[in-house]
Amino acid sequence: MCRPEEELSLKDRALAVSAEGIVIVDARMRDMPLIYVNEGFERLTGYPAAEVMGKNCRFLQGPDTDPVSLQRLRSALRENRECTVLLLNNRKDGSTFWNRLSITPIRDSAGQVTHFIGVQSDVTAEQNALQALEKSNQQLEEANRGLREDLEAAALVQQSFLPSAHPATPGVTWAWMFRPCAGVAGDMFGAFPLDGQRVAAYILDVSGHGVASALLSVTLSRMLIPDPGSYQAGEAGAGAQSGNQSPAQVLETLNRRFPLDPRTTQYFTMVYGILEPETRSFHYASAGHWGPVHVPKRGEAAILEPGGLPIGLFPGSAYSDQVLQMSPGDRLYLYTDGFIEAEDAQDRAFGLQRLIHSLASARHLSLDQSVSALTREVELWRGTSEFEDDLSILSFEITVS
């Protein structure tokens, strides 16, 4: 135990050596003058005690001191209560510092407030770091907004390349669904007349997803769409657009034109087919893509033979033409692996059998409804409408009897 006078000098010394500024003002005197400042205050502000004694602390304020914080201080003083505020203050040399000021009333034995004690902490470093963080957050947000806007614009461009209306093919109805998982997709499909009689239909899936895959899928869709004038004028254009190539030749042409670039390592899988509504035959070739699902009007639904290697992986890959003879009421679905690989909460894939079963059991629904039913079923399987891969499906039905 210290003797009373020792205890007093210990408190004096403790106050003196404190790193914080500590001041006491007399609340009974006009304008609350300073009656004590410790060494911490002198170090913090650069003002020697002798120079500030008897003054009100507002001499530390400058034009940038926040008026709202000052208003809070005034209210607390008026109501004789504690208060903590953040103030921008000026040192004697004119430099500024962030002062976290706490004031507390001191009462006499009758409960009357006689003094206020103020503790000043220099929180400049903290405050600067916070402001820098806020600024970089703001910059990040702006960059993010820019990226989002870019992505939305890119998604619009991509969607504008999807079929906008059903190809005018008497005796055939169409339905499709396109659901990119990241705004833009590596999936793409299309259906377009080739020469007034035949109609081409394709679906493709570029490896990966997002912007990089979408750049290639959009390029491909532009390449594949024929010049509407060419078949009307009876022109035999070059490449896939002409309609003079068989599906296998179209895939071989694409394989030549899109060899694997080691920098991007992009490749794609695809089914390309040509439908002759008159003979109801669908000539198609596949490049490493899941086989289309055939849902006949009568009989069992089945997956068509997949075949070939993905495009871009190996130069000189050969593809073979297949024919599916369809009958009135038959349906064919071209789809991407987003359906098959969609996983539930236990990481189990939706799988091919469920896909075939869903499409077969939707046979009594319209073509459009069968596509929606499958989508709903996959969503239920996942337990969310968020997918990790793009989902696309293109389907048609032979309607003539």
Ligand X SMILES: Cc1cc2nc3c(=O)[nH]c(=O)nc-3n(C[C@H](O)[C@H](O)[C@H](O)COP(=O)(O)O)c2cc1C
Closest by alpha carbon to 320, among 251, 270, 254, 223? 251
Q: How far is the CB of 7 from ligand X (least distance, A)?
A: 24
Residue partners of 57: CB distance under 8 A and separation at least 6: 23, 25, 32, 34, 118
The residue type at 331: R
81 binds ligand X (CB under 6 A): no
The residue type at 376: R
Contact (CB, 8 A) for 308 and 319 = yes
74 binds ligand X (CB under 6 A): yes
Residue closer to ligand X by CB (options 97, 319) is 97
Q: In what order do the strands lie in the sheet with 293-295?
A: 172-179, 391-398, 331-335, 293-295, 302-303
Q: Candidates 73-81, 123-131, 196-204, 230-238: pick the segment binding ligand X (CB under 6 A).
A: 73-81
Q: How far is the CB of 5 from ligand X (least distance, A)?
A: 27
367 binds ligand X (CB under 6 A): no
- Pick from 22, 37, 52, 60 the residue near ligand X by CB under 6 A: 60
Q: How far is the CB of 34 from ligand X (least distance, A)?
A: 8
Q: How far is the CB of 47 from ligand X (least distance, A)?
A: 11
- Pick from 22, 57, 274, 360 the residue near ligand X by CB under 6 A: 57
Q: Candidates 10-18, 71-79, 167-175, 298-306: pick the segment binding ligand X (CB under 6 A).
A: 71-79
18 binds ligand X (CB under 6 A): no
CB-count exposure of residue 284 (10 Å: 0-12, 13-18, 19+)? buried
> How remote is the C-alpha of 76 from its chain's centroid?
46
Contact (CB, 8 A) for 338 and 391 = yes
25 binds ligand X (CB under 6 A): yes
Q: How far is the CB of 179 from ligand X (least distance, A)?
A: 59
Residue partners of 105: CB distance under 8 A and separation at least 6: 27, 80, 81, 82, 113, 115, 116
CB-count exposure of residue 218 (10 Å: 0-12, 13-18, 19+)? buried
Instruction: Show the binding pattern over residues 83-102: x = contacts ligand X (CB under 6 A), - = does not.
Output: ----x-x---------x-x-
The residue type at 334: L
116 binds ligand X (CB under 6 A): yes
- Pick from 20, 36, 49, 56 the residue near ligand X by CB under 6 A: 56
103 binds ligand X (CB under 6 A): yes
Computed from CA positions of residues 126, 131, 137, 143, in that sequence, does the dihedral angle turn out positive or negative? Answer: negative
Q: How far is the CB of 16 from ligand X (least distance, A)?
A: 17
Q: How far is the CB of 64 from ligand X (least distance, A)?
A: 11
Residue of closest CB approach to ligand X: 118
76 binds ligand X (CB under 6 A): no
Closest by alpha carbon to 330, among 385, 358, 367? 367
Q: How far is the CB of 51 from ligand X (least distance, A)?
A: 15
Residue closer to ligand X by CB (options 80, 353) is 80
Size of the site for ligand X (CB under 6 A): 20
216 binds ligand X (CB under 6 A): no
Contact (CB, 8 A) for 34 and 49 = no
Please report, as residue ranges, which positions from 136 to 195 form the binding site for ligand X (by CB under 6 A): none
Q: How far is the CB of 63 from ligand X (least distance, A)?
A: 12
What DSSP assignment string belongs to 329-371?
Answer: T-EEEEE-HHHHH-B-TT--B-HHHHHHHHHHHTTTS-HHHHH
Residue partners of 149: CB distance under 8 A and separation at least 6: none
Residue closer to ligand X by CB (options 89, 269) is 89
Give the interface with ligand X as residue ranges (CB under 6 A).
23, 25, 32, 56-58, 60-61, 70, 73-74, 77, 87, 89, 99, 101, 103, 116, 118, 120
